[in-house]
Amino acid sequence: MMICGRPEGMRYYDLSVEGFWRSFAVLIYVLPFYVLGNLTETRLAAELGEQLASGGGWMPLPKLLTIVADWVAFPILLAFLASMLDIRSTYGAYVTVRNWITMLLVLPHAVLNTLFLLGIINADILLTLSLFIVGWFLWVHFTVTRIALAVSAGLAIGLVVLDFILSLFIVQIIDGLWAL
């Protein structure tokens, strides 16, 4: 519902304090999808003749650290910004929904990754379709951010961009530290 821009979708989430903390456990449910993504990245790098900074395989330690750091970094940063952005009253609900919506967001990439690993699609198709999925992913995050935080479109865009840039930054930092 929420990804279609319908705020009544908020009622399907446990927005209590316990629900907030429990939503971080969603990471456990999405880890298999990240493993699938890492296997795809390993095979793709091999096909393209590139070296992976964090290593390949199922789930190397730097990749796991990146996922965990990325999972908690934006909620922590946003907690510090909540008063300044006047979102303290909606912060908990937003983080809860943001965490749970990840279950939906990993599915399209999982399908693509599976098709690639099975040899049904090639690297060019995988990469091209991945761009569309990233666009959809950003749009869903924008919609959820706008509804759950009850903010303007401009602020929602800014927060989605901040989250995206922070994720890229975390990947670069951990890959860089691991390469030392």
Q: What is the DSSP letter of 50?
A: -
Q: Is pLDDT above 90 for 41?
A: no
Residue with tokens 């303290």: 88
Confidence of residue 8 (pLDDT cuts 50, 70, 90): confident
Among candidate residues 134, 144, 160, the one with its CA nearest the CA of residue 100: 144
Note the pLDDT tens digit of each residue in 11-38: 888 999 999 999 999 999 999 999 898 8
Share of residues in the chain with pLDDT > 70 (%): 92
Instruction: Enumerate the domain spans of the chain.
Output: 9-179
Q: Tell me how far apart the alpha carbons of residues 149 and 32 are, in angstroms, rounded to a whole number.
A: 29
Q: Tell me how far apart the alpha carbons of residues 103 and 99 are, in angstroms, rounded to a whole number.
A: 8
Look at residue 53 in the predicted model and tell me its pLDDT: 55
Residue with tokens 């279609």: 4
Q: Tell me how far apart the alpha carbons of residues 166 and 162 are, in angstroms, rounded to a whole number.
A: 6
3-state secondary structure 139-176: HHHHHHHHHHHCCCHHHHHHHHHHHHHHHHHHHHHHHH
**What global pTM score does this model have?**
0.87
Share of residues in the chain with pLDDT > 90 (%): 70
Q: Tell me how far apart the alpha carbons of residues 86 and 90 are, in angstroms, rounded to a whole number.
A: 9
Look at residue 59 in the predicted model and tell me its pLDDT: 57
Which of the residue ranges 36-50, 59-73, 121-135 has the most confident prediction, judged by mean pLDDT? 121-135
Confidence of residue 155 (pLDDT cuts 50, 70, 90): very high
More confident residue, 41 or 26: 26
Q: Tell me how far apart the alpha carbons of residues 84 and 68 are, in angstroms, rounded to a whole number.
A: 26
Q: Which residues fall within 8 angstroms of residue 134, CB to CB, at 6 or more apart?
A: none
Q: Is 59 helix (H, G, I), strand (E, B) or coil?
A: coil
